[in-house]
Each structure stands twice: as C-alpha cells, then as structure tokens.
Chains A and B, each alone.
Chain A
Amino acid sequence: MDIFLQVIFSSLTVGSIYAVGTIALSLLLGTLSMLNLAHGTFIAAGGYSAYWTMKVMGAHWIFALPISVVAGVISGYLMYHLVVRWLYDRPDFEIDIIIVTVAIAALGENIFLNVAGPEARRQPFHIDGGFHIADAVLPYQTILTVAIALVLLIIVALILGKTKTGMVIRAVSQQRDASKLVGINVSKSYGQAIIIAGAIAAVSGVLVTGMAQVFPGVGSSVTLKALVIVIIAGIGNLPASVLMAFLLGAFEVTVQYIFGARYGFPAMLGLVIIGLIWRPYGIFGKETITRV
C-alpha cells in the first residue's frame, strides 16, 4: 500500500515537472509551428535568475518569479530579434528552426557554464517538506508545481483568447497571408509569441530547478522529454500536453520502481513510439491540411 502511494506521489512530482515544462513548448509549436529545442535555455534562464535573485542578491522570495519572468522575456526577445526574425518567412522554416535551436540550446548551456560554473546548486525558491500519509511523502513543492502549471495554462488561454495580441497570434497561426492583408505585422507576432513562451518557460524553470537543481544542462534533459510528450499529446493541444505529462510521468516512475532507474525514459520513449505508430498526429491531435 505504501509503495503504491509513494509511486503515485512520485508520479505527481515527476509529472508536474513535465507538465509545467510542456506549456510554453506546446504554445510555440501550436501557434507558430515552431519546434523550439532551445526551450531548455529559457528554463535554465528562469532557474538561474531565481537563484541569483534570492541567493546572490539576497532578495525576498517574492521577487524570484517576477525576475524570472523578466529573464524569460529577455531571452525570448533575444531569440526572436537575433535569429527567428530572419527565418520565419522562409519555406524551410520548420526544419531550419530545429537546427538553429539545437545550436542555441548548446550555446546557451555553454554560456551558463562559463558564467556560472558547472556546479549544481540548490534552487532557493523551494518549499521543503510535505504531507506524510502512511509512509509516503507528497512534497509541498509538487503541489506548488501542479498549481503553477494550472495557473500558467489559464494565463496562456486568457492571453490567446481574450487579448488582442492573442487574437493576432491566432490569426497568424491560421492564415499567414490573410494576416498580412489585414495589416498584421507577422514578424512582430512571432516576437510576441516567443516572448510569451519565454516568460512562461522561465517560470516553469524556477519550479523545475526546484526539484532538479540548478545547473547548466538542466534545460536539455527536461526539454527532450517535454518535446516527446508534446508530440504524443498532439500538436497545439495544451491541456492534452499537460495530461500526457502526468500520464507518461506516472508510467516512467512505475517502470523505474519495477525495473530500475535507467529503464524509465527508454520505456517511456518506447510507449510513445508505439502510440505514434497508432496515431501519428498524437493521441489528441488532428491531421492538419496544408493548402496545395
């Protein structure tokens, strides 16, 4: 009984990390068809900036999340202004952006390595302890992460659905030429979407590093798993990504308990591959029809 409970709590913990990590990724993929392999850079930026705010500057924890948002916005802006705005109109954009973001991810990690050093540090924005039920522990940090994941989901939904910027981004994602013809600056919309994604990813980074520690490569391991989850969930379906994050997290944890830690991700990947053979557009995705 205890093991069962512990598996559930661990699943929630792991799932919450993945869930919060998929939101920004799914946003960019769904609206701009942009597969951002540099997502991890935003995550690391969030984690490091929160650490810097609390540990280095000694500020109160209440500043950590806002500062991480700023870090995310800056990172997002840089990525758009230096790189994406040259590429967004090219026919090869979808594949170009993958190659470029692989490079950006490596570059980002290298910058963090050189600036902050390779050591792993504890994330000061962190709640210790948890609920003790029977012999199992449900960490407070997990509950916090789940809560923030849901809040972020709601924020994205509100931005996309209720703001003018969001409406414009949706227009661009549905029909790019028509957007230009009503006067929308498509390039600017890309920038806005990336900045929003950066901010959200940075906040999620604070929480991710709360569980996994702050180190230069923290982004990349989460990013790959988040990418896999977003793909199997179905492109552009944010709630589905969050759901799949928890389901696959649970699966991974269960496999790890039974077979050992090293088999967790391979098993998860195997399950995803099987799922994709069955449904190539993701379980909750739909086939998009491109105009000839």
Chain B
Amino acid sequence: MSSQQNIWGRVQRDFWVGLAFVVLFLILPAFEPGKYIVTQITLFFIWAAVVTQWNLVFGVGGIFSLGHMAIFAVGGYVMAMMGLYNEWNLWAAMIVGGITAVIFSFLMGVLTLRLRGPYVAVMTLAIAQVMHALIVTDVECYFKKDMICINFTGGAKGIMKFGDFGFKEWLGYKYVVFGNYYLALALLVIGSIFAFSIMYSSLGATFRAVRDHTICAETRGVNRRRAQLLLFSVSGFFTGLAGGVYGGIYRTVGPDSLTLPVLLFLLSMMVIGGRGTHWGPILGAGALMLADTTLRGIGDYRIAGLSLIIILSIIFLPRGLVGLVYDIFNWKPRSLIQFQAGSADLRKLQREKNSKKLNLRYIGKTSTL
C-alpha cells in the first residue's frame, strides 16, 4: 500500500520535472542563444535520446550490450539508403529505419542474450566492430553517379545526398536549425516517455527483480530472456529513429558512430549520469555535452578525459550524479535506517508479544562465570 503511494509520488515528481524540462527547452530558442548553442543542444537531445534507450536496456534490463551504436547505425543507414536508392521521402524512410532497427535488435538479441551478462558485452561489441569494418572496407563501386563511384554502404566516406526533412522548403533556410532542434527534442521526449513507462510498469519491476535476484525471480516463473528480448527489440525502434534523425540533420550517415570515441562518449554519459536511474541519461548527456563544448581546446586528451570520467565515476560515484543528488537530499546516517515499513511492524509486534508473555527483557545481561 505505502509502496504504491510511493511510486505514484515519484511518477508525479518525474512528470513535473519532465514538463519543466520540456517547457524550458521549448521556449529557449526565443531567447536567441545563437546558432552554435542551438546546434549543440540539438546534439545533446539526440545523444540523450540514445543513452536513454541504452540505459533502459543496460541499466534497467540488465542487458550489458556494448553494441548499441550498431542499432543506431542501422536506423541511419537504412533511412539513408531508402532515401538514396529508392528516393523515398525521408520521413517515411526514417520510420522504415526505425522498424529495421527493431528487427536488427531482435536478431542481435536472439543471438547474444543466451549468454551470461558480461559475455553479451563482448559479443555485441564484436558485432558493432564487424559492422564498422565491413562498411569501411566497402570499396567496390555499387554504381556510378555522375562519374563518381558510390559504394553500397557509402564506405568510409558515408552516404550523402539522400534527401532531407524538408525544413528548408517548409520553414525557410534561416529556420532549418530550429526545425532540427524541435525534431530532436520531440525524439527525446517520445523516447523518454517510452522509457519511463517501462520503468514504472510491471515490466520494469520484473527487470529490477531479475537484476537484483536473478535466481529467485526465475524460479517464480519470470522468463528473463523473453522479457529482455522484448525490451531490447522495442527500444531499438527509438534508437534507430535517433540514428535517422542524426543522419537527416547532419545530411550524412557514416561509420563514425561505430568507433570507439563515440562509444566512450556515450558510455561516459550513461555511467556518470547513473546506470539504471530515471534521469541519469539526460543528466549525464547534459553534463558531458557541456564539458565537451566548453573544453574545446584539449582535443588530444579528450579520450583520456572521458576514460578518467568513466573510471572515477565507477569507483567513487557508482550511482552517478543522480545518486549524488539523491544522497545530498536524503542524508541519513546508516544506524537510523529502519526496516521496510511492513516487516518492521511485524517484528515489533512479535517482540512485544513475546516480552509481554515472559516478562523478560535481558538485553545486556552478560555471562558471570
């Protein structure tokens, strides 16, 4: 009873925080922050959307996938190819990209989720690496367009000229950047609503049970793998969509998203935000985009910096920034922490019953040999 009230309280809190967030970013462009800031925030929205799904899968679902960017890439590449080869409208192509990403995630899940947690990490990483290698070594000419050799996957250069979202025609050249901004924001909002729904649903509770007590949960009839596969596949839609949005905004889809620097960047967002938490991905993405934007000059040491952030977070801030904020607002010395409401009452009751019966309270009586 009280735990349900608790959850409703948290849903309400999250709702208001989310609303404030959305309103803030909806009206932000009105303050004319400048094109650079707007594009950086757009990028923040996209990465936050990706990490939100990755965190859902990794931190909540317990699927330790390091190949998340492969799903992102599939979404982007399918959209670009439909746009380039089949000349589809990019919006439709983007949806197709998302759906393909679902199928791809499903396949990836089927192939790797039978393994114990940590080994999933290696296999998914390998899949992403293979994808990268195959694309980058694609040097055969698929066809020639105006004397220029075009590889099927675009090769190392990537795919370009596959159309765009039409913001130029619709809003005018000057406002394309805002079209991108609101599209990315919409992506983040929709993806987050999905993620939060899962976390608050019984599916989310199931995952928490599986994550914390796998063997117990499984003996009670929870089919871990099926639940994980479902989650992995559906969240693939939003990740693939993000890949499409990214490709459409930057008008090029390439293999860079599959490289280690990007993996490290997003991994540090997830880790420092707080794995498995609700607001972790957005906090982490924000923190790292902020750092990345302000610390422009240290290019050479960017990787070292990200690595250190990850290492130090895991050691000293295991629950990330979200955990830090929570601890600050809920400081409670350990000795004051009581039992969960239900069991404490029961035990107290037992104690009273017993002591009344025997009239004995011998705490502290020691041996007098």
Q: Do A and B come from one complex?
A: yes
Which A residues are within 8 Å of any B CB, using their own CB? 33, 35, 37, 83, 86-87, 90, 92, 94-96, 98-100, 102-104, 106-107, 109-111, 114, 220, 224, 227-228, 231, 261-262, 265-266, 269, 272-273, 276-277, 280, 290, 292
Using Cβ atoms and an 8 Å threshold, which residues of chain A touch B264? Answer: 102-103, 106
CA distance A106 to B303 in the complex (A): 7
Using Cβ atoms and an 8 Å threshold, which residues of chain A touch B205? Answer: none
- Among candidates A102, A103, A224, A231, residue contacting B119 with C-beta atoms closer than 8 Å: A231
From known contacts A100-B310, A106-B303, infer whether A276 and B115 are also in contact, taking CB-CB under 8 Å. Answer: yes
Residues 285 to 304 of chain B near chain A (Cβ within 8 Å)? 300-301, 303-304
From known contacts A100-B314, A104-B311, A266-B134, infer whether A290 and B304 are also in contact, taking CB-CB under 8 Å. Answer: no
A96 touches B314 (CB 8 A): yes
B126 in the interface, Cβ–Cβ < 8 Å?
A: yes
A104 touches B215 (CB 8 A): no
CA distance A104 to B310 in the complex (A): 9
B267 touches A99 (CB 8 A): yes
CA distance A37 to B310 in the complex (A): 14
Contacts A35-B122, A273-B112 aside, 19 further interface pairs with beta carbons under 8 A come to A95-B121, A98-B118, A100-B314, A103-B306, A103-B307, A110-B303, A110-B307, A111-B304, A220-B260, A224-B122, A224-B129, A228-B122, A265-B129, A266-B133, A276-B111, A276-B115, A280-B114, A292-B215, A292-B216
Task: Name the 6 nearest CB pairs between A and B, nearest first.
Answer: A107-B307, A103-B310, A262-B137, A103-B307, A110-B303, A280-B114
A94 touches B307 (CB 8 A): no
B125 in the interface, Cβ–Cβ < 8 Å?
A: yes
Which B residues are within 8 Å of any A CB, using their own CB? 64, 66, 111-112, 114-119, 121-123, 125-127, 129-130, 133-134, 137-138, 215-216, 260, 263-264, 267-268, 271, 300-301, 303-304, 306-308, 310-311, 314-315, 318
CA distance A264 to B267 in the complex (A): 28
B315 touches A290 (CB 8 A): no
CA distance A17 to B111 in the complex (A): 27
From known contacts A262-B137, A265-B133, infer whether A94 and B117 are also in contact, taking CB-CB under 8 Å. Answer: yes
B133 to chain A, nearest CB (A): 7
- Among candidates B112, B216, B311, residue contacting A83 with C-beta atoms closer than 8 Å: B311
A87 touches B314 (CB 8 A): yes
User: Which residue of B has the minimal Cβ distance to A94?
Assistant: B118
CA distance A290 to B214 in the complex (A): 11
- Among candidates A86, A107, A266, residue contacting B304 with C-beta atoms closer than 8 Å: A107
B263 to chain A, nearest CB (A): 8
User: Which residue of B has the minimal Cβ distance to A34?
Assistant: B118
- Kindly name the residue among A86, A98, A114, A290 whose own CB sees the greatest number of chain B CB atoms within 10 A: A98
Interface of B: prevailing SS: helix
From known contacts A269-B127, A292-B216, infer whether A231 and B122 are also in contact, taking CB-CB under 8 Å. Answer: yes
User: Which residue of A has the minimal Cβ distance to B303?
Assistant: A110
From known contacts A110-B301, A277-B114, infer whether A224 and B307 are also in contact, taking CB-CB under 8 Å. Answer: no
B307 touches A231 (CB 8 A): no
B241 to chain A, nearest CB (A): 26
User: Which residue of A has the minimal Cβ distance to B302?
Assistant: A110
A265 touches B130 (CB 8 A): yes
From known contacts A95-B117, A266-B130, infer whether A114 and B300 are also in contact, taking CB-CB under 8 Å. Answer: yes
From known contacts A83-B315, A94-B117, infer whether A227 and B306 are also in contact, taking CB-CB under 8 Å. Answer: no
From known contacts A110-B303, A280-B115, infer whether A273 and B215 are also in contact, taking CB-CB under 8 Å. Answer: no
CA distance A35 to B96 in the complex (A): 37
CB<8 Å pairs between A and B, sample of 7: A87-B314, A99-B314, A224-B126, A231-B122, A276-B111, A280-B116, A292-B215
CA distance A92 to B300 in the complex (A): 32
A96 to chain B, nearest CB (A): 5
A86 touches B315 (CB 8 A): yes
User: Which residue of A has the minimal Cβ distance to B213?
Assistant: A292
From known contacts A95-B117, A280-B114, A292-B215, infer whether A228 and B311 are also in contact, taking CB-CB under 8 Å. Answer: no
B123 touches A273 (CB 8 A): yes
- Among candidates A87, A98, A290, residue contacting B64 with C-beta atoms closer than 8 Å: A98
A270 to chain B, nearest CB (A): 9
Using Cβ atoms and an 8 Å threshold, which residues of chain B touch A107? Answer: 303-304, 307-308, 311
CA distance A178 to B44 in the complex (A): 49
Using Cβ atoms and an 8 Å threshold, which residues of chain A touch B307? Answer: 103-104, 106-107, 110
CA distance A273 to B216 in the complex (A): 29
B118 touches A100 (CB 8 A): no
Using Cβ atoms and an 8 Å threshold, which residues of chain B touch A227? Answer: 122, 126
Using Cβ atoms and an 8 Å threshold, which residues of chain B touch A110? Answer: 301, 303-304, 307
A273 touches B130 (CB 8 A): no
CA distance A185 to B216 in the complex (A): 31
B121 touches A98 (CB 8 A): yes
Using Cβ atoms and an 8 Å threshold, which residues of chain B touch A273? Answer: 111-112, 123
B311 touches A276 (CB 8 A): no
A228 touches B126 (CB 8 A): yes
Using Cβ atoms and an 8 Å threshold, which residues of chain A touch B306? Answer: 103, 106
CA distance A290 to B125 in the complex (A): 26
User: Which residue of B has the minimal Cβ distance to A273?
Assistant: B111
Using Cβ atoms and an 8 Å threshold, which residues of chain A touch B308? Answer: 103, 107
A21 to chain B, nearest CB (A): 14
Using Cβ atoms and an 8 Å threshold, which residues of chain A touch B215? Answer: 290, 292
Using Cβ atoms and an 8 Å threshold, which residues of chain B touch A83? Answer: 311, 315
CA distance A107 to B264 in the complex (A): 10
- Kindly name the residue among B123, B263, B311 whose own CB sees the greatest number of chain A CB atoms within 10 A: B311
- Among candidates A102, A220, A276, A292, residue contacting B66 with C-beta atoms closer than 8 Å: A102
